[in-house]
């Protein structure tokens, strides 16, 4: 009985770990999805950018009306570094990053499905063990009643 209880405890622990992993994957998927949306918005802006009047964000939600004199774009490349690029190159870089974020979401979904399958498996094992324990307790109770 002690070995069975230990196994139930181990399975309960695994269940908790899988649930936490699923929650983490959901949060990461949401974060990456928001990044994809942000990159899509930036790409649309880059594609429509021309040397004319525009509203330019200056922080805190404030905008200033200005004229764009050239269309070279500062594109973040990681670790808070920016690279100045021509409009077409910046658009390509953003498309590449959008594709990368979509692939990341696909991988996260695959991992989510893998962990969800393990979660279902462990849940089924726990339910079978709990049912077996309940049946054994009823049998033990019936035996006691028969012999008392």
Mean per-residue pLDDT over the chain, rounded = 86
Domains along the sequence of the chain with CATH: 2-147 (1.10.287.370)
Supply the pLDDT for residue 145.
62
- Tens of pLDDT, residues 23-81: 999 999 999 999 999 999 999 988 887 777 888 888 898 999 888 877 788 988 888 89
Q: How many Cβ atoms from other residues are within 10 Å of residue 96's Cβ?
A: 11
Taking the whole predicted model, whether its pTM rises above 0.95 is answered as: no
- Tens of pLDDT, residues 126-135: 888 888 777 7
Whether the CB-CB separation of 118 and 11 falls below 8 Å is answered with no
Give the C-alpha separation, 121 to 108, whole Å.
20
Q: How confident is the model at residue 2 (pLDDT cuts 50, 70, 90)?
A: very low
């Amino acid at each position: 009985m002690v070995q069975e209880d230990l196994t139930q405890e181990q399975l309960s622990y695994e269940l908790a770990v899988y649930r936490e992993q699923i929650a983490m994957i959901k949060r990461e998927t949401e974060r990456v999805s928001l990044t994809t949306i942000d990159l899509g918005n930036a790409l649309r802006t880059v594609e429509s950018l021309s040397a004319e009047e525009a509203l330019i964000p200056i922080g805190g939600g404030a905008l200033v009306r200005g004229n764009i004199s050239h269309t070279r774009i500062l594109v973040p490349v990681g670790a808070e570094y920016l690279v100045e690029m021509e409009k077409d190159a910046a658009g390509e870089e953003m498309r590449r990053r959008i594709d990368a974020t979509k692939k990341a979401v696909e991988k996260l979904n695959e991992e989510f499905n893998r962990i969800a399958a393990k979660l279902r498996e462990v849940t089924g094992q726990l339910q079978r063990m709990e049912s077996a324990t309940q049946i054994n307790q009823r049998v033990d109770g019936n035996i006691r009643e028969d012999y008392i």
